[in-house]
Amino acid sequence: MELLKAENLSKSYASHKALDDVSLTIPRHTIFGLLGPNGAGKTTLIRIITQIFTADSGQILFNGEKLNPEHISKIGYMPEERGLYKKMKVGEQLLYLAQLKGMTKNDALATLKEWFQKFEISNWWNKNVEDLSKGMQQKIQFVATVMHKPELIILDEPFSGFDPINANLIKDEILLLKEQGSTIIFSTHRMESVEELCDHVALINKAKKILDGPKRDIKNAYKENIFEVEYTGSLVSLNGSFKILKDNAGAEFSTASIQISPEQKPNDLLSALIKSAEVQAFKEKIPSMNEIFISKVKGVSYE
C-alpha cells in the first residue's frame, strides 16, 4: 500500500512550467529515489508535498487522505539549502524545533539525548551553530529532520558536505529508519547512493515524469542481453551466431562483450564459448542507474 500518492500535479511560475501533469506513487516502508537534472522540477514537487507551495492542479493523498496541514507533523524534510539558525545554540534550537513538531519538552530531551550519544556529539549542545563545520551542521540538520519519528522523511542531497565516514554513518541511519517503519524520499545526483539505497526510483526531466518503478524492474527493462566474458583461447566457435560488440586481448585474459538475440539463452552462448575458449568469468551486463539516467535525459545509448 502506498503512503503518498501524487495525482496529475502541475505547477507554473509565470511562463515557466515547473511540473507538467506528474503522477507518482510512493510505496510505504521504501526508499524512493527522486532523480532528475537541475531544474527538472524535483524541488517544486518536494515543496508541494511539504505544503510550502500549492499545485496549480492535481492533488496529493497522504495515507489515503487529501494532503492537509495536519500531515505536516508526520513529515520530516531536510532541504538541500540547510535551514538552521546560526546564532542559536544547538540544543536550544533542536528543542525549539522538536516542540514545533508536536513533541513535549521531556520527550524531546530524551530523544535528543539518544541521538547525541549515537552520533557522539554530546559536547555540541551549548555550541552555536555557526561555530560548527558544514559536516557537523549536517548532522544537526539530520537529527532535526528525524527526531519526531515522521512517517515520511524527505532528504534532499543528504550526503552533501560529509566525509566518507560520516556519509556511511548517515547511510546506516537511513536504512535503520526504513527498517523501523519510515518511508523515505531520497533526492540526489549521486547515482552510487541510488544503487545502494533505493527500492523505487522516478526520473523527472523538463517538468515531466519520464521513468518510474521498482529499481530492479527498471534496470532489467533496459538491459540488452549483453554478456561480459573473460576468457583464454578464441571466439571462433561463435561462428557468427552471436554479436561480438567488443573483444580486447589482455596480458592474462581476453575480455569480450557479446550480445545474444531475444530468442537465445545465456546457456546457448556459454555452450558455444566453451568449444574454443576457457571461460574465466561470465556475467550479464545490467545497466547502472547512472547509465539509464544519462540515456533518458540526454537521449543517448548507454552501451
> What is the full per-residue pLDDT of the chain (303 aa) written as tens digits?
899 999 999 999 988 999 999 999 999 999 999 999 888 899 999 999 999 999 999 999 999 999 999 999 999 999 887 778 888 999 999 999 999 988 999 999 999 999 999 999 999 999 999 999 888 899 999 999 999 999 999 999 898 878 899 999 999 999 999 999 999 999 988 888 999 999 999 999 999 999 999 999 999 999 999 999 999 999 998 988 999 999 998 878 999 999 999 999 999 999 999 999 999 999 999 999 999 999 888 764 444
**What pLDDT is attached to residue 29?**
95
In this structure, which CATH number among 1.20.1250.20, 3.40.50.300, 3.65.10.10, 1.20.1050.40 belongs to the domain 2-219?
3.40.50.300
SS3 state of residue 172: helix
Query: How much is the pLDDT for 272?
Result: 95
Q: Give pLDDT, residue 299.
A: 64
Predicted TM-score (pTM) of this structure: 0.89
Every domain range in the chain assigned CATH 3.40.50.300: 2-219
Q: Determine the Cα–Cα distance for residues 162 and 134; give it in Å rounded to an integer.
A: 8
Measure the CA–CA gap between 108 and 126, rounded to whole angstroms.
16
245 contact partners, CB below 8 Å, separation of at least 6:
226, 256, 257, 258, 259, 303
Separate counts of helices (H) and strands (E) for the chain: 9, 14
Q: What is the CATH number of domain 224-285?
A: 3.30.70
Give Cβ neighbours of residue 13 (< 8 Å, ≥ 6 apart). Answer: none
What is the reported pLDDT for 240?
Answer: 85
Residue showing cell 493523498: 61
- Looking at the chain, the domain(s) classified CATH 3.30.70 span 224-285
Contact call for residues 171 and 186 (beta carbons, < 8 A): no
Residues forming beta bridges with residue 205, ordered by sequence position: 208
